[in-house]
Amino acid sequence: MDRKQLSTLLGSGLVLVILAGCNLPGNTSQQPTQASTPIISSLAVATGGQVSNQNPTPTVVEPPTSTLTDTQSLPTATATESPACTVLQVLNFRSGPGTAYRPPISTLPEGTKLIPQGYNPVGVPGGSWVEVKQESGDQIGWVSSGNQFISCNIELTLLPSIEVPPPPPPPLPDLNSSKVDGDNIDQFVEQVIQNPDYLVRMKVYRNLPEFSKDGDGIKKVDFSIFDNNSSFSLTTTELNKAYCFFGGGDPNCNTWVLEDYMYKWSKGGQVLKSGSYRLVVQVTATDGTIGTWFIDKLEITVP
């Protein structure tokens, strides 16, 4: 090799070393360097017009450190759990989604383990309910899904919807009353009939020779009821015979108002509650005569 060729070769090597020192990227047409193999360059030094080979110090170029972008994340391990719920307080276990499904099948003690199977967002008369299977047996029923009642490891709204037949009407209340007393009641002929369907019905006519049947000589009948805690009162006026607390007359009285599977005193009114009440019936005759009947203690028990 002559001096000119050697000089050219040394010049080329020097350029490569300078490029490597400036951290310029390599030729993209070359094959990519494996990350595990460092890039090493040697420098031949020419001095005094003579070429000598010195032991060069290798230059190692490390591959760039890989970093995650904002949109990348490391994979995380997830544990697969079977759907499960735990009862947090003593809870009624019912045949359907709602308190209208009564009586309850049983009660579940705190800590009972349940397997959720279905979900109903609006029970009867309200609230959200979950169909569950008892972990310790095969019995299936419904419990309220309120987080004060149960704790679950899944989102209950993702469970399938379960169709359930509507609940039967609630049983009628029980009535038990004291003796019927009254003021000026001898001016009338009356029959006070108590019945769980319609509470009370009054058959009455004026006690005069020309009158002989229900409604004769009667202008109106007012019914008033009060609870013994003075927190509730209701008065209704009836003009048609037979005189019924909820209206209607012959041959049938209207029954209790049933809304949301609960008996109420009137449409949109207060819910019937168990307790002790006082009932007053005032009869006004067409001639202005007034007679008053009252039951001081009317016990109503809602099943």
Q: In the chain, what are the domain boundaries?
A: 1-26+38-61, 85-158, 174-301
Percent share of the chain, pLDDT over 70: 74
Residue 167, preceding peptide bond in cis (omega within 30° of 0): no
| 11-32 mean pLDDT | 41
CATH number of the structural domain 174-301: 2.60.40
**CB within 8 Å of 229: residues ≥ 6 apart:** 275
Q: Please give the Cα distance from 290 to 215 (Å, whole number).
A: 14
pLDDT tens track for 129-171? 999 999 888 899 999 999 999 999 999 999 999 989 999 889 9
User: Residue 91: how many CB atoms within 10 A of its CB?
Assistant: 20
Residue-level length of the chain:
303
| Residues forming a β-bridge with 30 | none
pLDDT tens track for 102-127? 899 999 999 999 999 999 999 998 89
Q: Whole-model pTM?
A: 0.62
Q: Give me the CATH topology for the region 85-158.
A: SH3 type barrels. (2.30.30)
- Residues 28-44 as b or e (16 or more Cβ within 10 Å = b): eeeeeeeeeeeeebeee
| Between 253 and 31, the higher pLDDT residue | 253
Report whether 250 contacts 237 (CB < 8 A).
no
Q: Please give the Cα distance from 88 to 145 (Å, whole number).
A: 11
Report whether 221 contacts 203 (CB < 8 A).
no
Greatest Cα pair distance, the chain, in angstroms, is 158
Cα dihedral 25, 27, 28, 31, rounded to 10, equals -110
